[in-house]
Structure 1
Amino acid sequence: MSASPETAAGTVVRSALESMGAEGRARVLASVARRFSDLDLAEEMVQEAMVQALRTWGRDGVPEVPEAWLITAAKRRGIDTLRRDQARARLIPRLGALQERDPGSGSVADPADEVLSRDFSPVPDERLGLFFACAHPVLKPEERIALTLRFLAGLSTAEVAHGLLVPVPTMQQRLVRAKRRIRALGISFDVPSRELLPERLAAVQRVVYLLFAEGFARSGGQAHVRDDLTEEAIRLAKVLHQLMPGSAEAAGLLGLLLLTQARRPARTDEAGRPIPLAEQDRSRWDGQLIAEGLALAERAASAPGAGAYAIQAAIAAVHAEAADVESTDWSQIAVLYRMLESYEPNPVVRLGRAVAWGRARGMQEGLAQLEDLVGDPALERFRPFHIARALTLEEAGDFAAAGAAYRRALELPGNEAESEFLSLALLGVQNAQK
């Protein structure tokens, strides 16, 4: 029995909305937020516009440019809402400028036909330009990063919380406070002029880095990796490097991402489970990405202003140049982590230094360093810490303690492919104890 025309039309509309993906929805939200300086209002209006699309597109057909249609519809609904909402009366002065650009406020006959005006942007990529816009200096650094990841990069609140090593409720409160600050101060989401880009670069780079990190090892879901996120992060890092060719940190970030991505072909088995670095077939690493990454890492290390990303690129370069784990210059990596800690004194850096120290000075010294990190609130919630500890304990022959660490890792959120790997590893150490 064939579907009715109404059902078929609804399926086409839902498919068109779903095909936009998180990235498309983030662009629509950012464009609307830019007009109203109110993320809560923008979210509400975008949702209403999507509901309206389900009705209108099913009747009139999917417009040629769905994003433009949604932006226009959400903008008009926002203007109407502000006219009616006295609680948002402080935004009323903005209506004049908005109405000049959009005098009509009735039904949206065919907004896709409208040409949305775009100001000249010094950033040659719309999405990256929005990242710079969201990195407003009035916002606290952690607010800029969280807002950009959540609303422009399309990550969930839980994914953002994982990337910034905070509990989900804390992240929810942080996002609420940031949105209130934007609304109270009337912050606009305009792309800054070229001379103001350097002061916002650090926040934007952090967003790109965390976007890559979420794709490299997912904090949830079924698969261990999300190639669309890592590829998008690399694309954005390339634009940043082109935008600021003299920046050591822009070169360092791109070099780091390329060298890390080079391992991708060897990072998972046929079932999609992760393969630890020590067990990866390095002949499968991408030689072209390694060559590009090494050149960028060298350039970053020798350029003025080298910092955290240049150091991390140097660490990745040491790994890339080694034939195997045993021949890796772990002493150099440990020194580089100590340098990195002066820029980023966070527990994840201390974790990396502990692992490198153990490889360089002996497993027992590495375990001692790892034990010093036990009890850190951020690491206690961080599954990779317990995985690193379990692997180290297993290699040292302490199977009982390794089993406890694997069990703790399995208690924490993570992707299903990684959980399967941990379950198999736990079974292995349990068998070794018999």
Structure 2
Amino acid sequence: MAGGDRSALTGREAVAAVWRIESARVVGALARYTNDFALAEDLAQEALAEALVTWPRDGVPRNPSGWLLTVGKRRAIDAFRRRAARDEKYAALAHDLGEGGVLLGTPPAEDVEWDPDQIDDDVLALMFISCHPVLSPEARVALTLRVVGGLTSDEIAKAFLVPTATVQARITRAKKSLGAADIPFEVPPPGQRAQRLGSVLSVVYVIFTEGSSASSGDNLIRLDLAGEAQRLARVLARLMPDEPEVHGLLALLELTAARFPARTGPDGEPILLEDQDRRRWDRSAIVRGRAALTRATKIGRGLAYYGLQAAIAECHALAPSVNETNWDRVVTLYEALGKLAPSPIIDLNRAVAVSMAQGPAEALKIVDHLEKSESLKNSHLLPSVRGELLTRLNRKPEAQTELKKAITLCANDRERTVLEQKLAALNHSQPKAPET
């Protein structure tokens, strides 16, 4: 490869790295300057496009994020000029950029300094706007990954196995909805913050859940997507250090991700919890997760939805084996979680814990109730758990029926393979004394 090619490659890599780290700050700062979220995101994308051309040719500027912000401001000036809107916004932006000569040439990165009193507020406001309740859940996820996570539309589409055009349409509609609703670029006032925070946490949780247990496709775990959710949770914990549920979510993500190294084999095949080599669990992630959970507890007000799940994950993280897990505590935590936020998935997980603490017969009562309610009739999880319980109770024909149903409903290739293996093992097994 020629020297010029190496330089170009280095420049493009630098653009990608800086964008992933600083895009939220750039978009946030531009939104604060223009008071127009949609325009700010467009301006940041234009600055990114200019960097992809300029940096490989001229070298990476000494202040890359400042360079991007200055280009974005300059493009904002151009947009206001085209609209002939020489109003207070134009005057304020022009003043920030200095004398007119700066507007005509390539902006020197050294002329722009980050305002340390505004950075955190900008990113936090950006997260609240991207997760605004006026948007659909799908739009919130796409917009958050785009403007806060710095992912491209192609990357988001690949992560969620949808066409790029679908992601682009969601982002476009989201920006139009925010504009039509005249959403101000600001961190919500204290009275609204708790309600809006739930939406932000939910989006980060959805992103991580899809990454940690892919709903479809041929990979069980999508590390890039799960990692992006962890990064967003860390940012949120830094920006809102006095919110216990923020730390609870971070703890849950860290403790869950700690098991990733042992959850799949060399060929990507799933490894069940009881078969995992716990020596491969990420101990540093466990330490970080427990520290976040401790922080959530010390802040007070008790553990909430994510904190309780983190406490359950901590039980698994501390146990030397499945059999040595404190299943009674896990059951108690799931009972508390079910009272706080009733959900058929929580009840199903509680049934699994009950089967370990009290036996499959007690657990089957919970599962049978869920089956009658038809709340999980389209999920493979219910017949999968029911099939496992029936197997332990030596009710082989019923277990076979449930596992076949689970295989039919499962959309993830890796999980389906595990279910098929369980069915095959059951078909060749010999009768044994049932568990009670």
What's the TM-score bracket when you normalise by the shorter of the two chains? Answer: 0.7 to 0.9
The 5 Å alignment of 1:348-427 reads: 348-359=345-356, 360=358, 362=360, 364-372=364-372, 374=374, 376=376, 380=378, 385-387=379-381, 389-390=383-384, 392-394=386-388, 396-397=390-391, 398-410=399-411, 419-423=413-417, 425-427=419-421
Residue 233 of structure 1, CA deviation? 4.9
Residue 173 of structure 1, CA deviation? 7.8
Q: Which amino acid aligns with 2:338?
A: E
From 189, 196, 215, the counterpart of 2:185:
189
Cα gap change, 1:330/1:141 in structure 2, threshold over 3 Å: closer, same or farther? Answer: farther
Residue in 2 that maps onto 1:75: 73
Distance 1:259 1:291 in 2: 8
Residue 386 of structure 1, CA deviation? 2.0
The 5 Å alignment of 1:9-408 reads: 10-20=8-18, 22-85=20-83, 93-102=88-97, 104=100, 106-118=103-115, 120-121=117-118, 126=119, 130-135=123-128, 139-140=132-133, 146=141, 147-154=143-150, 178-184=174-180, 186-190=182-186, 201-218=197-214, 224-226=221-223, 228-229=227-228, 232-233=231-232, 235-236=234-235, 239=238, 243-244=241-242, 247-286=243-282, 290=286, 293=289, 297=293, 300=296, 303-359=300-356, 360=358, 362=360, 364-372=364-372, 374=374, 376=376, 380=378, 385-387=379-381, 389-390=383-384, 392-394=386-388, 396-397=390-391, 398-408=399-409
Distance 2:103 2:295 in 1: 56
Residue 393 of structure 1, CA deviation? 1.6
Distance 1:160 1:365 in 2: 41
Distance 2:289 2:204 in 1: 17
**Contact kept? 1:358, 1:366, Cα under 8 Å:** no
Distance 2:135 2:345 in 1: 17
Q: Which amino acid aligns with 1:356?
A: A
Residue 120 of structure 1, CA deviation? 1.0
**Contact kept? 2:249, 2:306, Cα under 8 Å:** yes
Percent identical among aligned pairs is 33
Cα gap change, 1:56/1:132 in structure 2, threshold over 3 Å: closer, same or farther? Answer: closer
**TM-superposition CA deviations, 1:247-290 (whole Å, max 9, x none):** 54345334433433443442222334332223223354455655
Distance 1:432 1:286 in 2: 33
Cα gap change, 1:107/1:194 in structure 2, threshold over 3 Å: closer, same or farther? Answer: farther
**TM-superposition CA deviations, 1:208-265 (whole Å, max 9, x none):** 5445444434566857242643652564365367x22xx5434533443343344344
Backbone CA RMSD of aligned residues: 4.6
Distance 1:114 1:370 in 2: 62
Distance 1:56 1:291 in 2: 43
Distance 1:390 1:158 in 2: 34
Query: May I ask how many residue pairs the two structures share in their alignment?
Result: 408
Cα gap change, 1:177/1:47 in structure 2, threshold over 3 Å: closer, same or farther? Answer: closer
Give the match's secondary structure for 2:265.
coil
Distance 1:48 1:137 in 2: 19
**Contact kept? 1:135, 1:148, Cα under 8 Å:** no
Structure 2 gaps of 5+ residues are 392-398, 429-436
Cα gap change, 1:278/1:366 in structure 2, threshold over 3 Å: closer, same or farther? Answer: farther
**TM-superposition CA deviations, 1:26-61 (whole Å, max 9, x none):** 443333333334343333333333333344334433
Structure 1 gaps of 5+ residues are none
Distance 2:165 2:334 in 1: 31
Cα gap change, 1:200/1:159 in structure 2, threshold over 3 Å: closer, same or farther? Answer: farther
Residue in 1 that maps onto 2:431: none
Residue 130 of structure 1, CA deviation? 0.8
**Contact kept? 1:38, 1:182, Cα under 8 Å:** no
Residue 311 of structure 1, CA deviation? 1.9
Give the match's secondary structure for 1:396.
helix
**Contact kept? 2:28, 2:125, Cα under 8 Å:** no
Distance 1:32 1:298 in 2: 36
**Contact kept? 1:131, 1:204, Cα under 8 Å:** no
Residue 206 of structure 1, CA deviation? 3.9
**TM-superposition CA deviations, 1:186-227 (whole Å, max 9, x none):** 545345789987676544444554454444345668572426
Distance 1:15 1:314 in 2: 39
Residue 319 of structure 1, CA deviation? 2.8
Return the TM-score normalized by structure 1.
0.72
Give the match's secondary structure for 1:97.
helix
Distance 2:8 2:282 in 1: 44
